Amino acid sequence: MDNRLLLGCIADDFTGASDLANTLAKEGMRTTQLIGTPQDNTPINSEAAVISLKSRSIDAADAIAQSLEALQWLTGGDAVSV
């Protein structure tokens, strides 16, 4: 089994992240939903990772910072696509 992360997704709320994770899983992708950006480099055994942020209702600068942190985590984990 290939443990490569094929798709990394960043959602601005839990509901959207859950909807996306559910759709990916139903279509056959091993999918993990993460609540917030992980603070370590623990590998996940999934083809897709969906990071759920609570960035829709916060200050734009904070939302951008959270999104960039999530992007850095995903690309640091060698996600093929984000």
Burial class of residue 44 in the structure, from the number of CB atoms within 10 Å of its CB (0-12 exposed, 13-18 middle, 19+ buried): middle
Whether residue 47 contacts residue 3, with contact meaning beta carbons closer than 8 Å, is answered with: no
Instruction: For the beta carbon of residue 81, count every other beta carbon within 10 angstroms.
Output: 10
Which pLDDT tens digit goes with each residue over 53-69? 999 999 999 999 999 99
State pLDDT tens for residues 8-50: 999 999 999 999 999 999 999 999 999 999 998 777 889 999 9
pLDDT at 2: 63
Confidence of residue 1 (pLDDT cuts 50, 70, 90): low
Single pTM value for the model = 0.90
| Cβ atoms within 10 Å of 14's Cβ, excluding its own | 13
Report the distance separating Cα 21 and Cα 64, nearest Å.
22
